[in-house]
């Protein structure tokens, strides 16, 4: 996207670049669970069952898959402690902080959207 003095100029190249960037982002953060998992891990490392309890509706199979994908994309790290029994925790990486602003904006938008929809349903039909 090229910017003029006071306007944005869209070209085929900038559009393709922008679309590719968004597709890459959506590919990495694909699905309804990755961002909620990251939010659940904000603040402190958690064990598998703690994450599952925080998210309520996620199945163990899906949680395991999503945790693996988040680890592959370097958003979290899986730490194995040599205790008896073995203790495994999941913790956000410093790289995951690159999504902090995005998550905050999504959260704010979600709150506003929910309020808007609730308010529009309360209005009497005209």
pLDDT over 80 (residue 47):
yes
Does residue 79 sit within a domain?
yes
Backbone conformation region of residue 85, classed left if phi is above 0, alpha if psi is from -120 to 50, else beta: beta
Does residue 63 sit within a domain?
yes
pLDDT per residue as tens digits for the range 28-38: 888 889 999 99
**Sequence-ordered strand ranges (E) for the chain:** 2-3, 8-9, 46-47, 76-81, 87-92
Residue 106, helix vs strand vs coil = helix
Question: In which domain, by residue range, is 68 found?
Answer: 31-122
Does residue 17 sit within a domain?
no
Does residue 1 sit within a domain?
no
Does residue 59 sit within a domain?
yes
DSSP codes of every residue in 41-72: HTTS-EEHHHHHHHHSS--HHHHHHHHHHHHH
Does residue 2 sit within a domain?
no
Q: What is the pLDDT of residue 4?
A: 52
Number of domains in the chain: 1
Residue 76, helix vs strand vs coil = strand
pLDDT per residue as tens digits for the range 55-77: 999 999 999 999 999 999 999 99
Phi and psi torsions of 77, nearest 5°: -125, 140
Strand partners, 3: 8
Q: What is the pLDDT of residue 6?
A: 57
pLDDT over 80 (residue 124):
no
Does residue 37 sit within a domain?
yes
Global confidence as pTM: 0.77
CATH number, domain at 88?
1.10.10.10
- Give dist(CA 124, CA 43) in Å, integer: 43
């Amino acid at each position: 996207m090229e910017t003029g003095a006071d306007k944005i100029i869209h070209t085929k190249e900038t559009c393709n670049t922008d679309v590719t960037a968004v597709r890459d982002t959506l590919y990495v953060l694909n699905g309804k669970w990755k961002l909620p998992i990251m939010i659940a891990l904000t603040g402190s490392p958690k064990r598998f069952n703690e994450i599952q309890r925080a998210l309520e509706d996620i199945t163990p199979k899906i949680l395991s898959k999503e945790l693996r994908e988040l680890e592959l994309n370097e958003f979290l790290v899986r730490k194995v402690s040599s205790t008896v029994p073995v203790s495994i925790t999941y913790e956000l990486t410093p790289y995951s902080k690159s999504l902090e602003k995005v998550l905050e904006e999504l959260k704010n938008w979600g709150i506003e959207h929910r309020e808007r929809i609730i308010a529009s349903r309360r209005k009497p039909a005209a």
